[in-house]
């Protein structure tokens, strides 16, 4: 029988429960207070029918999900069995970037359906970028009207399109996604990424950059020098306004405030940023970014929310330990490990192998399956305990449509789900592979386009070809020109 993720304890018993094909067996649900409230559940199947127990609705929901998977395995019968199950990690996340390319509400819901089946419980929604800001805004309306449309797209040989590209979600659409997720016990965590990756914000409000120059949204992928000016008090005003509006839409415990890839060239040359550095008694621009993150994290705390930031925000060495969870994405992990070893929370989404926008030839299904987020070099036992979970992002510079997104994520997200629920690989890779085959067929029935088995783990020479091919595909004349521009 194929279950994904594997339950902690599964005991098959002698006998089968029969019921008419196409119908449900008799199912009793019971709240059992002695079970942990942390998503655990029990299932008993015997001659009396199916009994699902959970401490609360959430536990019952996960029991029902497992029953759903069992039902997919059998027709008109279920084996007598006992299951006890609980997750290893409280945070089991997937991330979608709807900025580089925009995905409709229906496409997002289909991705949620796919992830929900495997017990993911956090949907990190990446909504602001250099190439597009994707939320309807009232307080700063130009973020939407100007910031959501780029003049063209130059993401690689297959996409050099000189027509404007845009899209945003209305508040009603986002609330609908939140409701859809709530019904599946998935928390939607919005991301407003700053101070870097803010070209869309600056294109709408140029006065918030260090130079005040009017710039256009970016049309290629990359890391860009124009970032929000931290020495300008108006910048914090905009950040707080965006957070306020996002918080009205997303009632999540966590709020992601970005903080990755923010070159300090502009800050180092800006009188306002230099004055701010001095006024706060700081010494480096990385510390100034840490100061910004701390300010915003304490604003979020007053609103009852917890901040998540990308690991580069640790570079200044001055993050508050109070209300901040670090999302570790870079392969260089020394500061993230140190943070975790100090007993501070970390979400692991290490580039290699969890970035599923990269080809299977680079991050194979087996590599994803084998990654153990608590067995990272340098982690102490306290550090390992501080890893609160995992997350796998799909960035979309080179993912233009739903079919490609589904192909890149599935079945790799099944491997991530297995680790998220069980910590590591409980039954071994060969057994997982069979489950992956089984559920790829199920996913196809749900309108997904998972990668065929032949692509999951390719031979070494094909790995090299795919890796080289991936990088040469997006090195276009525009990107080379941009790269060598002075003061990039």
105-116 helix and 412-422 helix, angle to the nearest 10 degrees: 50
Which residues have CB under 8 Å from 250's CB, separation 6+?
174, 178, 188, 189, 190
Least Å distance, CB 57 to Zn ion, is: 49
For residue 385, how far is the Cα from the chain centroid?
21
* Pairing between β-strand 254-256 and β-strand 306-310 as defined by DSSP bridges: parallel
Among 113, 261, 320, 367, binds ligand ACM (CB under 6 A): 261
Nearer to ligand ACM, 176 or 261 (CB): 261
Nearer to ligand ACM, 310 or 421 (CB): 310
CA end-to-end span of the chain, whole Å? 55
Nearer to ligand ACM, 42 or 197 (CB): 197
Alpha helices, H only, 303-428? 334-341, 351-354, 365-370, 381-385, 402-409, 412-422
| Spatial CA neighbour of 399 closest among 435, 359, 362 | 359
The site for Zn ion (CB under 5 A) is made up of 210, 229, 231, 270, 272-273
Nearer to ligand ACM, 140 or 358 (CB): 358
Least Å distance, CB 262 to ligand ACM, is: 10
What are the structure tokens assigned to 282, written together?
């700081």
Bin 147: left if φ > 0, else alpha if -120 < ψ < 50, else beta. Answer: alpha
Which residues have CB under 8 Å from 413's CB, separation 6+?
94, 114, 115, 118, 120, 356, 392
User: What is the DSSP secondary-structure string of 45-110?
Assistant: EETTEEEEEESSHHHHHHHHHHHHHHHHH-SSEEEEEEEEE--S-SEEEEEEE-SSS---HHHHHH
**452 secondary structure, DSSP code:** P
Least Å distance, CB 391 to ligand ACM, is: 11
Among 329, 339, 369, 432, binds ligand ACM (CB under 6 A): 329
Contact partner, 210, from Zn ion, ligand ACM, none, Cβ < 5-8 Å per class: Zn ion
Least Å distance, CB 198 to Zn ion, is: 12
Nearer to ligand ACM, 205 or 329 (CB): 329
**5 secondary structure, DSSP code:** S
CA distances from 199 to 186, 270, 393 (A): 30, 17, 21
Contact partner, 272, from ligand ACM, Zn ion, none, Cβ < 5-8 Å per class: Zn ion
Q: Does 255 sit near ligand ACM (CB under 6 A)? A: no
For residue 481, how far is the Cα from the chain centroid?
31
Least Å distance, CB 193 to ligand ACM, is: 8
Least Å distance, CB 265 to ligand ACM, is: 18
Least Å distance, CB 289 to Zn ion, is: 12
Least Å distance, CB 260 to ligand ACM, is: 4
Least Å distance, CB 200 to ligand ACM, is: 15
Contact partner, 175, from ligand ACM, Zn ion, none, Cβ < 5-8 Å per class: none
Contact partner, 310, from ligand ACM, Zn ion, none, Cβ < 5-8 Å per class: ligand ACM
Nearer to ligand ACM, 260 or 437 (CB): 260
- What is the rounded distance in angstroms from the CA atom of residue 279 to the CA atom of residue 362? 46
- What is the rounded distance in angstroms from the CA atom of residue 125 to the CA atom of residue 113? 15
Contact partner, 91, from ligand ACM, Zn ion, none, Cβ < 5-8 Å per class: none
Least Å distance, CB 451 to ligand ACM, is: 22
Rg (the chain; Cα; Å): 23
Contact partner, 25, from ligand ACM, Zn ion, none, Cβ < 5-8 Å per class: none
CA distances from 157 to 359, 394, 398, 470 (A): 16, 20, 10, 11
Can you say whether the dihedral through the CA atoms of 362, 433, 461, 154 is positive or negative?
negative
Contact partner, 273, from ligand ACM, Zn ion, none, Cβ < 5-8 Å per class: Zn ion
- What is the rounded distance in angstroms from the CA atom of residue 276 to the CA atom of residue 271? 9
171-182 helix and 233-249 helix, angle to the nearest 10 degrees: 50
Least Å distance, CB 193 to Zn ion, is: 18
412-422 helix and 429-445 helix, angle to the nearest 10 degrees: 120
Site string (308-327) toward ligand ACM, x via CB under 6 A: --x-----------------
Nearer to ligand ACM, 256 or 448 (CB): 256
Among 173, 176, 260, 287, binds ligand ACM (CB under 6 A): 260
Region 28-67 residues binding ligand ACM, contact defined as CB under 6 A: none
**Total of residues contacting ligand ACM (CB under 6 A):** 4
Site string (272-311) toward ligand ACM, x via CB under 6 A: --------------------------------------x-
Q: Which residue has the CB atom at the shortest distance from ligand ACM?
A: 260
Nearer to ligand ACM, 61 or 91 (CB): 91
Residues that bind ligand ACM (CB under 6 A): 260-261, 310, 329
């Amino acid at each position: 029988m194929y279950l994904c993720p594997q339950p902690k304890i599964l005991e098959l018993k002698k006998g089968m429960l029969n019921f008419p094909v196409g119908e449900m067996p008799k199912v009793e649900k019971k709240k059992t207070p002695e079970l942990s409230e942390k998503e655990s559940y029990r299932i008993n199947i015997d001659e009396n029918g199916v009994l699902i127990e959970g401490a609360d609705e959430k536990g019952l929901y996960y029991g029902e999900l497992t029953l759903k998977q069992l039902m997919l395995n059998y027709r008109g019968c279920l084996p007598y069995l006992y299951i006890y199950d609980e997750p290893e990690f409280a945070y089991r996340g997937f991330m979608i970037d709807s900025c580089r390319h925009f995905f409709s509400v229906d496409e997002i819901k289909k991705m949620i359906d796919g992830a929900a089946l495997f017990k993911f419980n956090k949907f990190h929604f990446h909504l602001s970028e250099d190439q597009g800001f994707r939320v309807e805004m009232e307080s700063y309306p130009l973020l939407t009207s100007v910031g959501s449309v780029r003049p063209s797209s130059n993401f690689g040989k297959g996409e050099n399109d000189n027509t404007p590209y845009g899209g945003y979600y209305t508040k009603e659409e986002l609330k609908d996604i939140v409701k859809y997720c709530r019904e599946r016990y998935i928390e939607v965590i919005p991301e407003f990424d700053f101070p870097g990756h803010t070209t869309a914000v600056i294109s709408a409000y140029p006065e918030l950059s260090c130079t005040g120059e009017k710039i256009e949204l970016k049309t290629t992928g990359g890391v860009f020098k124009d970032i929000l000016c931290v020495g300008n008090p108006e910048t914090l005003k905009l950040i707080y306004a965006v957070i306020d509006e996002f918080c009205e839409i997303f009632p999540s415990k966590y709020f992601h405030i970005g903080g990755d890839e923010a070159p300090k060239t502009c800050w180092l040359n800006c009188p306002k940023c230099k004055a701010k550095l001095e006024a706060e008694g700081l010494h480096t621009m990385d510390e100034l970014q840490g100061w910004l993150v701390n300010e915003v994290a304490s604003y979020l705390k007053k609103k009852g929310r917890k901040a998540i930031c990308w690991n580069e925000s640790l570079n200044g060495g001055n993050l508050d330990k109070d209300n901040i969870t670090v999302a570790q994405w870079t392969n260089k992990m020394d500061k993230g490990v140190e943070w975790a070893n100090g007993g501070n929370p970390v979400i692991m989404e290490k580039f290699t192998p969890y970035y599923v926008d990269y080809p299977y030839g680079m991050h194979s299904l087996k590599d994803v399956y084998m990654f153990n987020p608590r067995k990272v070099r340098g982690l102490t036992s306290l550090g390992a305990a501080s890893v609160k979970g995992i997350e796998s992002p799909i960035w979309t510079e080179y993912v233009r449509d739903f079919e490609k997104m589904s192909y890149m994520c599935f079945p790799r997200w099944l491997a991530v789900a297995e680790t998220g629920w069980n910590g590591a690989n409980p039954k071994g890779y060969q057994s997982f592979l069979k489950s992956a085959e089984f559920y790829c067929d199920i996913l196809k029935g749900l309108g997904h386009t998972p990668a065929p088995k032949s692509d999951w783990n390719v031979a070494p020479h094909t790995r090299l070809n795919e890796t080289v091919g991936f990088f040469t595909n997006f090195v276009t004349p525009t990107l080379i020109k941009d790269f060598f521009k002075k003061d990039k």
